[in-house]
Chain A
Amino acid sequence: QVQLVQSGADVKNPGASVKVSCTTSGYMFTTYFMHWVRQAPGQSLEWMGIINPSGTSTTYAEKFWNRVTMTTDTSTSTVYMELRNLRSEDTAVYYCARGGDEPNSFEYWGQGTLVTVSS
């Protein structure tokens, strides 16, 4: 079965960077793009960007384009999302999410990674 397993919760100081991993299994990694979505406490879902499996093509939401980098490691079927220059409003649960038959509808989700930004 398809599984997306994310790295654990993290606490960062303002101005620091965080890198969240999403290790996949149960399907051919090279077949599906991966998205990242975040959810601040009590808020809606916010799409951050998408990366192709080889890591050669990314599209980021304008809000994050100069602070986020998404990468892949095909040898371990893992996708990474790094967010730099963190501020308190970046406190959120970060999800990796993969499409199914409809590539941009999110059939599979990681369990989420809580990133807390606090001094």
Chain B
Amino acid sequence: DIQMTQSPSSLSASVGDRVTITCRASQSISSYLNWYQQKPGKVPNLLIYAASSLQSGVPSRFSGSGSGTDFTLTISSLQPEDFATYFCQQSYITLITFGQGTRLEIK
């Protein structure tokens, strides 16, 4: 299986901050990397697919980059509704795997 490692596991930030979350794959996955946001008790929401494509309806303050093994999710200016847990997911092979999650908290 391809292992996905996110960092940090948790992060405290303030409204208006620029935040970056990283995801590393145990082998090259080209650009087959997706990002999700999940709020407590809610279903995950797809933010970014194919490493850098913004899902329809997702605010433009979210962006993704990277290829191969190293990827980043950036939130350019945190809004109150962005405090949530974020997961990366590889779709390079059918045996899909997720990162362990990054919990973004209010400072």
Contacts and interface: CB of A to CB of B under 8 A. Distances in A.
Q: Do A and B come from one complex?
A: yes
Interface residues of B: mostly helix, strand, loop or mixed? Answer: loop
Interface in A53-77: 59, 61-62
A100 to B, nearest CB: 8
B96 interface: yes
Contacts of B46: 100, 105-107
Interface stretch (A10-18, A41-49, A82-90): A41-49
Contact of A59 (B32, B94, B98, B100): B94
B80 to A, nearest CB: 23
Contacts of A50: 94, 96
B87 interface: yes
A interface bracket (residues with beta carbon within 8 Å of B): 20 to 34
A111 interface: yes
Contact of B101 (A35, A44, A101, A102): A44
Interface residues of A: mostly helix, strand, loop or mixed? Answer: loop
**A46, A103, A104, A105: residue with the most chain B Cβ atoms closer than 10 Å:** A105
A61 B95 contact: yes
A95 interface: yes
Interface string B27-62: 000001010100000011010011001010000000
Nearest to A97: B44
Interface in B79-107: 87, 89, 91, 94-101
Given A35-B96, A106-B36, A109-B44, A45 B87 contact: yes
Contacts of A101: 49
Contacts of A110: 43
Given A106-B36, A107-B55, A44 B100 contact: yes
Nearest to A102: B49
Interface of A: 35, 44-47, 50, 59, 61-62, 95, 100-107, 109-112
Given A45-B36, A47-B98, A109-B43, 12 more contacts: A44-B87, A44-B99, A46-B98, A47-B95, A47-B96, A50-B96, A59-B95, A102-B49, A105-B50, A105-B89, A106-B44, A107-B49
